[in-house]
């Protein structure tokens, strides 16, 4: 099955070339068919770097995000362009692991899962250089979501997940920001798609600046979680 890696970039001039080259070098050595879809919302020269790379790598697609720019809208642009049967959002700052990408592909292709979720909070996960506050808020938010949705998944908010394309097409995400990962996971679980959660590795960025303020995004996460929970309740009454 062909895999589409969707990589969003916003002002990642230190990572753009490093990430694309690292991903290519790694995936080219695996026995898989793949494409990279880079979706860019930068104004720091990242776009020019990515454009140069498209001449080097034939199976790389480069697209601009749509305005107003957002992590969620960027992923949605990538989903529309993806031609693979497996779709995996992968962060442009190399925080996610390519070994985990291969585990996702294996679980979908060989074990028939519709979705695979990566968890930073289960036994076996390796999290490096994370800031205490962000990690604690994220852990707490995921505990809360687990209770609200009675879910065994310990990392619903993480966007690094793998999906069959046909699943994404039915989930119809609306989140414009970082909460798109949570929206897709919750809607997918409610729709009873077969999924599993595995421990993953996550390393904090070494260069550049984080675009995500965890405190600012909390209202988006809460609103979306309650909206999904209450529409689920209405449907089961």
| In the complex, minimum distance from the CB of residue 41 to ligand GTP, in angstroms, rounded to a whole number | 4
40 binding ligand GTP? (CB under 6 A): yes
Among 2, 13, 211, 229, binds ligand GTP (CB under 6 A): 211
Span interacting with Mg ion, options 23-31, 56-64, 93-101, 105-113, rule CB under 5 A: 93-101
Residue 190's Cβ-side half-sphere holds a number of Cα atoms within 13 Å equal to: 23
Residue 36's Cβ-side half-sphere holds a number of Cα atoms within 13 Å equal to: 31
Q: Which does 40 bind (CB under 5 to 8 A by kind): ligand GTP, Mg ion, none?
A: ligand GTP
Alpha-carbon distance of 144 to 196, in angstroms, equals 19
Alpha-carbon distance of 29 to 16, in angstroms, equals 20
Residue 113 and residue 195 in contact, taking contact as beta carbons nearer than 8 Å: yes
| In the complex, minimum distance from the CB of residue 191 to ligand GTP, in angstroms, rounded to a whole number | 26
| In the complex, minimum distance from the CB of residue 99 to ligand GTP, in angstroms, rounded to a whole number | 18
Nearer to ligand GTP by Cβ, of 127 and 190: the residue is 127
CA distances to 22, 45, 89, 101, 197 from 76, rounded to whole Å, are 24, 23, 10, 19, 23
Nearer to ligand GTP by Cβ, of 62 and 225: the residue is 62
Span interacting with Mg ion, options 54-62, 85-93, 162-170, 192-200, rule CB under 5 A: 85-93
Angle in degrees, 0-180, between the axes of helices 46-56 and 16-28, rounded to the nearest 10: 30
Closest C-alpha among 63, 57, 52, 62 to residue 24: 57
Per-residue interface string for the shown chain with ligand GTP, residues 86-125, x marking contact by CB under 6 A: -----xxx-x------------------------------
97 binding Mg ion? (CB under 5 A): no
Q: Which does 211 bind (CB under 5 to 8 A by kind): Mg ion, ligand GTP, none?
A: ligand GTP
Residue 61 and residue 81 in contact, taking contact as beta carbons nearer than 8 Å: yes
Helix (H) or strand (E) segment spanning residue 64: strand 60-64
Instruction: Name the pairing type of β-strands 34-40 and 60-64.
Output: parallel
Per-residue interface string for the shown chain with ligand GTP, residues 42-81, x marking contact by CB under 6 A: -----------------------x---xxx--x-------
The residues binding Mg ion (CB under 5 A) are 93, 95
């Amino acid at each position: 099955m062909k895999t589409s890696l969707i990589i969003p970039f916003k002002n990642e001039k230190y990572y753009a070339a490093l990430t694309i080259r690292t991903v290519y070098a790694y995936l080219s050595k695996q026995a898989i068919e793949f494409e990279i879809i880079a979706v860019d919302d930068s104004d720091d020269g990242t776009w020019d770097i990515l454009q140069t790379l498209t001449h080097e790598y034939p199976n790389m697609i480069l697209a601009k995000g749509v305005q107003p720019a957002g992590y969620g809208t960027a992923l949605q642009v990538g989903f529309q362009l993806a031609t693979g049967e497996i779709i995996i959002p992968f962060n442009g700052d190399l925080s996610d692991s390519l070994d985990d990408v291969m585990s996702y592909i294996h679980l979908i292709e060989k074990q028939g899962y519709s979705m695979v979720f990566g968890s930073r909070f289960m036994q076996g996960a390796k999290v490096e250089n994370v800031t205490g506050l962000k990690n604690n808020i994220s852990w707490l938010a995921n505990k809360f979501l687990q209770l609200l949705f009675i879910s065994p998944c310990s990392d619903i908010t993480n966007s690094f997940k793998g999906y069959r394309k046909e699943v994404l097409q039915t989930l119809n995400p609306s989140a414009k920001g970082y909460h798109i990962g949570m929206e897709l996971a919750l809607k997918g679980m409610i729709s009873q798609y077969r999924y599993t959660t595995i421990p993953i590795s996550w390393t904090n960025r070494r260069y550049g600046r984080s675009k995500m303020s965890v405190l600012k995004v909390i209202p988006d996460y809460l609103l979306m979680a309650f909206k999904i929970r209450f529409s689920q309740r209405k449907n089961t009454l």
